[in-house]
Structure formats: C-alpha cells, structure tokens
C-alpha cells in the first residue's frame, strides 16, 4: 500500500546552507534515503524549491486565474515529499519518522487512493 509523506517546515527552522549543522542535516537525509532503498520502500522522494517560487491556479468559467505563491500561506511550507510502499500505517509512520525535517517541522502521512489497481 502506498503512502505519501508531505514534509512541512518553517524554512527558518532548518539549518542554514552555510551553517556548520547543514552538513550533518544533509548527511541525515542521505542516511534516511539509504535506509529506504535498503528496505525497498521508496517509490519517489523529492525536495521542492521554496514556496516563494510557487504559482497557484484556478480555472473558473473557462478562464485560468493564477496567483503568485502557495495555496495556503503559513510559516510552515510544503518543502518536499516521499512516497513509500509499505505494509501498513505503522510501517509508513516508522519511515516518516526518519525524515530529518520531522525534527523541527511536521510530516503528514496519507494513504494514496488506489482505485482498485492492486
């Protein structure tokens, strides 16, 4: 069963690019990714560029309206995601807890709808 882990965090709370903690932070992502591959649970995982690069659009009456910025304005931004293929929620939560950003931000874990594919 597939789960998506949506990573929300305040960019200011993560170690800055030029800080001494940054190297360790990236190393912990590397370690998590290795574990995911080793356990063969990783379907996909990506980091996103900052929310200031986002564009939100709506189609209303056949017209596309666009807005500069993310759909929800808040301190915590969607910063990346993983898709895991796991037995059950407990397993998915176990892997999601290994995401380094969970230490300062939050990770929302949701099952992916399968529409009877399996």
Residue 89, interface with another protein (CB under 8 A)?
A: yes
Residue 102, interface with another protein (CB under 8 A)?
A: no
Residue 23, interface with another protein (CB under 8 A)?
A: no
Residue 65 CA to residue 98 CA, distance in Å, equals 38
Q: What is the CA radius of gyration of the chain?
A: 16
Tell the smallest beta-carbon distance from residue 105 to another protein (Å): 18
Nearer to another protein, 57 or 97 (CB): 97
Q: For the chain, give percent helix, strand, coil, nearest 5.
A: 30, 35, 35
Tell the smallest beta-carbon distance from residue 100 to another protein (Å): 21
73 SS3 class: coil
Residue 59 CA to residue 105 CA, distance in Å, equals 32
Residue 90, interface with another protein (CB under 8 A)?
A: yes
**Out of 30, 58, 75, 110, the residue judged to bind another protein by CB under 8 A:** 110
Count of C-beta atoms within a 10 Å radius of residue 18: 6
**Out of 87, 98, 99, 106, the residue judged to bind another protein by CB under 8 A:** 87
Tell the smallest beta-carbon distance from residue 2 to another protein (Å): 10
CA dihedral 15, 4, 42, 50 (to 10 degrees): -30
Q: Which residues bind another protein (CB under 8 A)?
A: 1, 87-90, 93, 110-111, 116
């Amino acid at each position: 069963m597939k789960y998506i882990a949506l990573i929300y965090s305040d960019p200011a709370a993560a170690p800055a690019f030029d800080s001494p903690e940054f190297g360790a932070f990236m190393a912990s992502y590397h370690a998590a990714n290795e574990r995911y591959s080793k356990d063969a649970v990783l379907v996909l995982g990506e980091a996103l560029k900052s929310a200031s690069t986002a564009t939100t659009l709506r189609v209303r009456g056949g017209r596309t309206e666009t807005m500069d910025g993310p759909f929800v304005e808040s301190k915590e931004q969607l910063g990346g995601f993983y898709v895991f293929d796991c037995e059950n929620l407990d397993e998915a939560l176990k892997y999601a807890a290994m995401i380094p950003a969970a230490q300062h931000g939050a990770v929302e874990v949701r099952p992916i709808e399968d529409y009877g594919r399996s």
